[in-house]
A and B are shown apart, each in its own frame.
Chain A
């Protein structure tokens, strides 16, 4: 067995216990006579295998389940509120209320639009009175300029 193959097995199957007896025998024979592979095997054993064999599972903190349960309950309460809200939105009472509200809104819009029309009518009246004023001034101007502008023919036609 060469060092490349031995190195591959030391880092992989050898310490995982996946090596068959024949390969294990060959590898251990190589390790006995190869200082660099021996050093690698010692390093893996001391740092990647043995320390992990000394540790044990730690107990789960007792308060952990309580905090998870509390978080689940909190979430459920939030869901309950959402469900209640959706239930209310689908209820007959809410639909009736919504109808009344929409009807009321329509009436208000109607009334406002009527007032708006009355308002626009008074605006029109103001414009008409302004036009009347303009035509009065135009007439008076024509009267004052009668002697200075136009020929006899124009006067005839005007």
Chain B
């Protein structure tokens, strides 16, 4: 993820659409993939990504540069995703196949979809709070401190949520095997 300069952020806050596009290009993959892992539905992920970037565009003028833009975007993404999951907008759950089948049908891509389905099945067993910690740690590789910063809790809470989540996932072993995954 490339770092966005202060000048670009200021220009985007002043309404320069090219500067905002640069921010989108740098951070949209993170936002979209977090939303996709959390909802397991490409359409929902698109909605969340759009909401996140419209919110960023609206609030960018008030950004104080006290933290990195990246951290701020992580936080906004986490909040929007959890709010979306808890709201009635989220429908349970459109399969990855819905959005991916039309793209490609080769073997490696099929394996990829199966891996996505497995992860999606596992993540559905967790609460949104546990799920976001697992996604940020296991998928995006964030440290406990970074997760804590994004979620707005302290590192001990992150550690505790991850433990509970792993305990729950480990106990699902037989259930997942029964699905033939």
A contact set with B: CB distance below 8 Å: 8, 11-12, 15-16, 40, 42-44, 46-49, 51-52, 54-61, 64-65, 67-69, 71-72, 75-76
Contacts and interface: CB of A to CB of B under 8 A. Distances in A.
B50 A64 contact: yes
Interface residues of B, number: 40
11 contacts: A12-B163, A43-B170, A47-B169, A48-B134, A51-B122, A54-B115, A57-B29, A59-B29, A60-B29, A65-B28, A71-B54
A91 B172 CA distance: 70
Given A52-B138, A68-B24, A43 B163 contact: no
Nearest to B165: A48
B98 interface: no
Main secondary structure on chain B at its contact with chain A? Answer: helix
B3 interface: no
B7 interface: no
A54 B116 CA distance: 8
B118 interface: yes
A47 B176 contact: yes
A71 B162 contact: no
Contacts of B138: 48-49, 52
B54 A47 contact: no
A16 B116 CA distance: 21
Nearest to B33: A57
Chain A contact residues, majority secondary structure? helix
B102 interface: no
Interface string B129-156: 0000010011100001000000000000
A114 B173 CA distance: 93
Contacts of B42: 58, 61
B57 interface: yes
B157 interface: no
A72 B115 contact: no
A6 B112 CA distance: 33
A43 B169 CA distance: 7
A32 B50 CA distance: 49
Contacts of A44: 166, 169-170
B66 interface: no
B2 interface: no
Interface string B25-54: 000110011001000001000100110011
A60 B25 CA distance: 9
A31 to B, nearest CB: 13
B68 interface: no
Contact of B170 (A16, A40, A61): A40
